[in-house]
Amino acid sequence: MANNFSQLARKSKANGSADKISKEQTGKPSLEIYKLGDNILRQNSKRISKVDSSIRTLAKKMLQSMYAAKGIGLAAPQIGINKELLVIDVNFEDSAAEPLILINPEISDYGTTLNSYEEGCLSIPGVYLNVVRPSTIKLKFRDEMGRPRKMKADGLLARCIQHEMDHLNGVLFVDRVTSKEDLNKELLKEGFHEKDVIPINCS
């Protein structure tokens, strides 16, 4: 199994279905995915007060668009909706694996071990850069039926959850890249601009 975002993005073929959503989507994503430079990506998201059919429908559309874009995660702000909703599927090659739908996610604890891996983002297509993050997390959230849940995650899943949760706070993975030279090179290659990056303290 690929152990970083870029390998997954380049390898993603997707097959099968979870919750009757086919992982093999063809054509363009049904929802517009906003790109680096769009102000909507820099806004803070609001908690979802009621988990109802409209939220479940939105999550399904997000999954369809994520699979069509060959991604492993998508946050509602990336489609212009400032709600605390994430969809994730790091097991896209397994047709029986259920995707994660995380509503109002909160990280309750971070592991002490840090790891650096290459990340990418559907909002910054073609750009892949190393980011340092905790390798394990504890998480609480609500599922698509509104039920409270808790889970532990490590490795790629923990990284993906942290990456997508950043979107809920208007943070993009390029903001966490410590090598300015590598960052500028990758952004320029794909036609993005350094001025749209907001560096944050990654310590």
Catalytic residues: 164
The residues, any chain, with a CB within 8 Å of residue 175's CB and separated by 6 or more, are 166, 197, 198, 199, 200
Q: Which two tokens stand for residue 12?
A: 């993603």
- Contact (Cβ atoms closer than 8 angstroms) between residue 120 and residue 128: yes
The residues, any chain, with a CB within 8 Å of residue 52's CB and separated by 6 or more, are none
> What is the spatial distance between Cα 187 and Cα 127, in angstroms, rounded to a whole number?
7
Burial class (CB in 10 A: 0-12, 13-18, 19+), 16: middle
Residue burial 153-176, b: 16+ Cβ < 10 Å; e: rest: beebbbbbbbbbbbbbebbbbbbb
Cα angle for residues 137, 141, 142 (degrees, 5° grid): 155
No. of helices (H) and no. of strands (E), the chain: 4, 9
